[in-house]
Structure 1
Amino acid sequence: MTKTTLTGIVLLLLAGCAVPPRQALIESADEKCRAISERFAGDLAYGDGIGADDSPGIRERVALLKDLHDHTSRMPKPETGQAELNAWLTKLADYTADLRKMSGMMESPQVADIIRAMQAGIAMESAKSLGQAAQRFGFKDCARTENWEHIAS
C-alpha cells in the first residue's frame, strides 16, 4: 500500500467520523442553552416578582443571550434548515431586545408596577415563541425556554 493510498483511506475514515454542520451547531447551541437555563433558574432567577433589584441580573441574562446568538451565528451553516435557524435567531434577538427593554424599565423610578408586569408578560411570550422556533430547527435544550421567565409565587 502506498503512502498516498494510506492517506486517502485515513481521510475517508476521518470524513466518516465528522459531525455534520447542522448536528454540530445543535449540539454546541444546546450546550450553551443548558448553561443559560441553569443560570436563569439559579443565580439569575427572579424572586417573588420583578423589580429594580433584578436589573443587574436581567443585564446578565441579555449578555448570555447575546453570546448565544453570536456564537451560533458564527458556526458553519447547516446543510439543511437554514430558514428555521434564521427564524430562531430572529426570535432570540427579539427576546433579547424584550429583556433589554425590561431592564431599562426596572431602573426607571417613574415606571409603575403594572407596566413592569406588562413587560414581563411580553418577555414570557417572547421566550415561549423562542422555544417553539428552536424546536422547529431541531434544538433540544434551546427549545426548553418555558422556565426562562418563571417568577416564583
Structure 2
Amino acid sequence: MTTRLWQWAGAGLALAATLVWAEDTLGWHSDCGSVKDWYTKNEDPSFQAKLDPAEPGVLKLTQEGTDTWGKAAFVVKDVDLDKTPILEVKVNKVDKDAAYKVGVAPLDWSELFVVVPRSSADGVSSGNIKTATGWSGKKSFNVVLIVEGKSKAVWFDDIKIKNAAPTAK
C-alpha cells in the first residue's frame, strides 16, 4: 500500500512539474508597460477611450466621450493562429458598475469579434480567436480592449496571444 501511494505521489509531482514548467508559445505579448502603438481617442475620436500608464506594467483604459463605452486597439502582425489561438488578459481592477470585453477586428474594421466575453471581474480571462472568428493561419488584425460604463475604467496588467498550454505559475 505504501509503495502504491508513493507511485501515485510521484506521478502527481511529475504532472505538477510539467504544468508548472510548461512555457507559453507567444504569438504576441503586451506587458502593459507602454501606451506606444496603441490606438485610442487621440488617434480616432470615435474610440471614445483613453489609455494611460496607471503604474509600472499596468494600463488604465478609461471611457471618455458621449457613448457609454470606449475602446483602444493594437495592430498585431503575422500571428499564426494555428499555433497561438488563445487571447488572454490579466485585469487588476474594474471600476464599480463597469465591465470590459476583448475582441479582435480585421485591419479594415469591417467586423468586431468578441473573444474574451463581457466581465466585471478582475483576474485572468481568455478566449479562442480561431473559434470566435473562423480565421486560421497567419493573420494581421487589431486586438481591441473595450470598456463599458460612462467615465469608468479597467486596469490591464498583461495581454497575450498564446498557445493553449497551461500558463506557467
Calculate the TM-score normalised by the size of structure 2: 0.24
**Higher share in strand:** 2
**Higher share in helix:** 1
Calculate the TM-score normalised by the size of structure 1: 0.26
Q: Report the structure number with the largest CA radius of gyration.
A: 1
